Amino acid sequence: MNSDNGLPYKIIDIKRISSENEGALQFFESGKDIPFEIKRIYYITDVPKNVWRGRHAHKKLHQLLFCLYGEILLKLSDGTNDYEIILNKPNKGVIITYPLWRDMFWIKKDSVLCIAASEFYDETDYIRNYDEYIKYISDLRG
Ligand code: T46
């Protein structure tokens, strides 16, 4: 688990500096605002409305997910409990450091999902089959 309130994820307010009539700037720093060093940033764009992505878990990868623009439903599961988080503002982030199954649903077209990740891309870190995930998480819990 990676949060202090019993949830297997953590919601954070990304630091935001607003300038009157000139918009806002958001930022976070490795090791200060998020509990890992960032090796990779990726972002998902051009997704039509009502599309699902995800359907996988990561074994070791730690991530900060945030929606830069639009509205996305993030569904997380630890195999026992399910969680739903709406990402609809660029200063709301979700830190995941536990192997959670995740699905993302595009509520608004062209919403942009951005991820800061602790590792380089490695397909062997993915579990893309739900039954395999349940076995993995059961073995992890012992
Ligand atoms: C995640 C959710 C939130 C790469 O080649 N390099 C990369 O760095 C990434 C992230 C993906 N890929 C390839 C792997 C697939 O062939 O891009 C293709 C699409 O990836 P995927 O189907 O995993 O995309 P999503 O939107 O289901 O999941 C992505 C991330 O993969 C995943 O880490 O947590 O966003």
Mind listing the pLDDT tens digit for each residue in 4-13? 578 999 999 9
Ligand 1 atom nearest to 120, measured from its CA: 8
Please say whether the beta carbons of 13 and 64 come within 8 A. no
Euclidean distance between CA atoms 60 and 51, whole angstroms: 26
pLDDT at 1: 55
- Residues contacting residue 132 through CB under 8 Å, at least 6 positions apart: none
3-state SS, residue 22: coil
pLDDT over threshold 60, residue 120: yes
Strands (E), 20-139: 23-27, 40-44, 52-58, 63-69, 72-77, 82-87, 92-96, 101-106, 112-117, 126-127
**What is the best residue among 41, 53, 97 to mutate for testing ligand 1's pocket, by most ligand atoms within 8 Å of CB?**
53
Model pTM score: 0.96
Give me ligand 1 centre to Cα 129, in Å. Answer: 15
**What digits encode the pLDDT tens for the residues 23-82?**
999 999 999 999 999 999 999 999 999 999 999 999 999 999 999 999 999 999 999 999
Give me ligand 1 centre to Cα 142, in Å. Answer: 29
Known catalytic residues? 56
Cα–Cα distances in angstroms (integers) from residue 140 to residues 14, 104, 120, 125, 134, in the given order:
31, 24, 23, 15, 10
pLDDT over threshold 60, residue 2: no
pLDDT at 4: 59
| Residue 26, both tokens | 């958001």
CB within 6 Å of ligand 1 — which residues? Answer: 40, 42, 44, 53-54, 63, 65, 104, 115, 121
**What is the best residue among 41, 42, 43, 63 to mutate for testing ligand 1's pocket, by most ligand atoms within 8 Å of CB?**
42
pLDDT over threshold 90, residue 3: no
Give me ligand 1 centre to Cα 6, in Å. Answer: 28
